[in-house]
Structure 1
Amino acid sequence: MANPLLTTKAPDAALSVQLHPLVLLTITDYITRHISRQQPQPIVGAVIGQQNGRTVTLEHAYEVKTDLHHQNSILINGEFFTDRLEQYKDVHKAPALDLQAVFMLGSVGGPEDEHARVVKQVQQLSGMDAVMLVLFHAEMVDQLQGGKLPITLYESVLEQQDGGEAGQQEIKFRELSFEVETGEAEMIAVDFVATGGGNATAVPKAAEQAQASSTAEASGSKTAGEKKGKGKGKSKEEDTDPDSATNVLSPEDEELIASLTAKANAIKMLTQRINLIRSYLQSLPPSYLTSTDSTNAPADDTNYVLLRSINALLSRLPLLAPPSPISNTTPDGQGELHIPPTLASAAAKEKEDVHLTTLLASLTRSIAEAQSLSSKFYTVTREKNSKDRNMLSGGGRGGSGSGFGGDEGYGGGPFGAPGGSGSTGPP
């Protein structure tokens, strides 16, 4: 039977979705912790990314706090959802990420009514209509073949209800194809998880081990009389079996051995590189920079870039090496520890850089405030001068007079004298 929540209409333009592995790691980690803690709340989370036209990236995911409604339906905690979304937006500002999808557990058959209600709640809380749905199929985990991921991505669309009122729409979903996009940092994280996941085997508890061993001893003593003289060769092979339980390392021991092996390989490679640099420097002729007796000029094929790199490496070695304290003995026989000059000078230089940066920031801020004050003062002065000029020009013109023999004109002069351009007779 076809899923009624899946639409059959073709999209106007197909979306290109790029899924990052960190989203998958977050979802699986959330599901594992949720199941191991036996939490009753449903599994609901949000996925953020960026959208450029019809290209959408799903880069980070996080869990969402939910509450159970009185009718056993999922209800998202609106305050938690809004605050957490704003926090992720503040962290991921360059490039700016926004809500793109929600993830939940679901069957292979497609979304259900509960998924549609959650998507609708997220749309109302975020104010976004285009919210995708990521369904994780838990039943497919043990049946994965060919590298297929146990997830399905759906696009939410609004369609007119059949037989409903005009303008009434319902949420439906359209399955989308996606591709996995991996960055360099994600490659390192995925490789670490994959390496650690190979050692993350289930370790039985001590009580279960003791019970299993006692059961094995009891069964062995019970059948010892029956198999006496018949299975001696087989028993010897079992005792010397290298794959027995006593010879199997625990996951912690295997991880420790792998870590020590990686460190040993790194030290071995570092030693080889140091010997290579030493051999190269020994092969060079004596230089007038290091020997005062040498008068030979450097060869034409001298690699100055490599020599400058080696010099920079040597200049950083005193900072990388652990400092040994210097003890100065006072006349009374008491020793006083002092910081080595190299480390002290480096610390002083860092402190000076911090103070210089703070001073430059304060100076820049003061200049900006002074410039703003100058602009405001210029604006106020210009307005004041403009008002003064208007008042002076208005009083000098005076009134127009009546023109019919009045003693005073319409307006007064600048000193209160009656004025007017009209004339009543000869002067």
Structure 2
Amino acid sequence: MDTDDSVVLPSSTVSGLSLSLHPLPILNISEHLTRLKLQSNSNSPFDSWVALLGTQNGRDVEIVNTFELAVEADGELVDHGFLVSRRDQYKQVFPSLEFIGWYTVAQRPTARHIALHEQFTGYCSTPLLLLLQPSISLAASSDVNAQNLPFKAYEPSIELRERKSRSVYIEVPYTVETGEAERIAVDWTARGGGSGTSLESHLQTQRAAVKMLHERIMLLVKYVSDVVAEQKPKDHSVLRSLSALIASLPATENIAFRKEFETEYEDVQLTAFLSSLTKSANILNDLVDKHIVVTSSGSGERAPGGPRRRGMGMGMNRGGDWDRH
């Protein structure tokens, strides 16, 4: 097998594709990478596969949306059932979108990507490969364009060398295409998602207030300890204020508070239990209905009065079977 560096043709080889990348896939990929890095607690690149959805008209391709792919236990095979299901769900809402490629995290395409590429050829004859290269530093420039982003797009191709053919990748230049609605959404996200910034500011304020309260309480505790140890003189006005403050607080062993807390906790747990029990009863009800339909169809008999819905109770008829009523 060829080495990793040999699967990409030199930059002098020009691709005939005209590729446009929309902001939504960029946001989805960035969020996906950040979430997986936090879950794995690692900064090193890892395997993560995402399907690219878009439109293709001749050699004009647009990447419009993405969705995450599920992999099999060995981590080398795509869950094709999940891929087809999610693709069809998207097509119900966006009929024009097709599967046009996949994305992963890597510095450059390797022979392994060529092997993985074969799993997607059943959904697209030439699926594109989009690589996220998080280690690439962005160039400091006032002119923001596609080349400032840590993304590389590649088109699969066939190279003939010494009368032998092999699969290779050709780098595809791309542009960032955006509409008015996408500009508004990106600007809203960049500003913190509306209430996200205000919530963060509120939480920071609360944290600072709690920290200050803790410091002042510790100062009062130290003062009382020093007074008890006769290291500081007594200030009766301060001690009276402390006594009034303590009297206004609920007792540490407040039995009424504890009982109220336990009651509310038990109510919440009981509500969750009843919800689970109701769901289980509903599933059992459907199972019983299906069982009765199957058994009545198999015997060719029909209960007098036609089919009957299951009620809240069950009784036994003369034949010894359970009758619903």
TM-score normalized by the length of structure 1: 0.41
The answer for the alignment partner of 2:104 in structure 1 is 104
The answer for the alignment partner of 1:91 in structure 2 is 93
Shift of residue 189, structure 1, vs aligned partner: 0.8
Shift of residue 100, structure 1, vs aligned partner: 1.3
The answer for the alignment partner of 1:184 in structure 2 is 180
Change (3 A) 1:175 1:183: same
Counterpart CA distance in 2 for 1:190 and 1:134 is 21
Q: Is the 8 A contact 1:42 1:66 kept in 2?
A: no
The answer for the alignment partner of 2:30 in structure 1 is 28
The answer for the alignment partner of 1:171 in structure 2 is 167
Within-5 A mapping of 1:4-43: 4-8=6-10, 10=13, 14-38=16-40, 42-43=47-48
Change (3 A) 1:2 1:78: closer
Counterpart CA distance in 2 for 1:16 and 1:81 is 26
The answer for the alignment partner of 1:156 in structure 2 is 156
Counterpart CA distance in 2 for 1:106 and 1:58 is 19
The answer for the alignment partner of 2:5 in structure 1 is 3
The answer for the alignment partner of 2:125 in structure 1 is 129
The answer for the alignment partner of 1:390 in structure 2 is none
SS at match of 1:67: coil
Counterpart CA distance in 2 for 1:10 and 1:163 is 20
Within-5 A mapping of 1:269-308: none
Counterpart CA distance in 2 for 1:87 and 1:39 is 32
Q: Is the 8 A contact 2:4 2:110 kept in 1?
A: no
The runs of 5 or more residues in structure 2 that have no matched partner are 219-325
Q: Is the 8 A contact 1:158 1:170 kept in 2?
A: yes
Shift of residue 47, structure 1, vs aligned partner: 0.9
Counterpart CA distance in 2 for 1:39 and 1:102 is 24
Change (3 A) 1:161 1:86: farther
Within-5 A mapping of 1:211-360: none
The answer for the alignment partner of 1:54 in structure 2 is 59
The runs of 5 or more residues in structure 1 that have no matched partner are 218-427
Shift of residue 2, structure 1, vs aligned partner: 8.8
Counterpart CA distance in 1 for 2:41 and 2:54 is 28
Shift of residue 68, structure 1, vs aligned partner: 4.7
Counterpart CA distance in 1 for 2:158 and 2:84 is 23
Q: Over residues 19-72 of structure 1, what are the superposed CA-to-partner deviations in whole Å (9 max), with x where a residue is unaligned?
A: 110110111111122222228972110111111111111111111112352xxx
Counterpart CA distance in 1 for 2:92 and 2:67 is 15
Match of 2:140 among 142, 145, 153: 145
Q: Which has the higher contact order (CA 8 A, sep 6+)?
A: 2
Counterpart CA distance in 2 for 1:102 and 1:39 is 24
Change (3 A) 1:116 1:68: farther
The answer for the alignment partner of 1:115 in structure 2 is 113
% same residue: 27
Change (3 A) 1:181 1:32: same
SS at match of 1:138: coil
Give RMSD over aligned pairs. 3.5
Q: Over residues 285-330 of structure 1, what are the superposed CA-to-partner deviations in whole Å (9 max), with x where a residue is unaligned?
A: xxxxxxxxxxxxxxxxxxxxxxxxxxxxxxxxxxxxxxxxxxxxxx
Counterpart CA distance in 2 for 1:76 and 1:99 is 14
Q: Is the 8 A contact 1:74 1:114 kept in 2?
A: no
SS at match of 1:65: coil
TM-score normalized by the length of structure 2: 0.53
Counterpart CA distance in 2 for 1:157 and 1:196 is 41
The answer for the alignment partner of 2:256 in structure 1 is none
Counterpart CA distance in 1 for 2:85 and 2:166 is 28
> Partner letter of residue 27 of structure 2?
L
Q: Over residues 136-186 of structure 1, what are the superposed CA-to-partner deviations in whole Å (9 max), with x where a residue is unaligned?
A: 11112x54532311101111112346575xxxx432111111111111111
Q: Is the 8 A contact 1:156 1:174 kept in 2?
A: yes
Q: Is the 8 A contact 1:144 1:150 kept in 2?
A: no
Change (3 A) 1:37 1:155: same
Counterpart CA distance in 2 for 1:10 and 1:149 is 21
Counterpart CA distance in 1 for 2:51 and 2:171 is 18
The answer for the alignment partner of 2:50 in structure 1 is 45
Counterpart CA distance in 2 for 1:39 and 1:83 is 30
Shift of residue 116, structure 1, vs aligned partner: 1.9
Q: Is the 8 A contact 2:4 2:111 kept in 1?
A: no
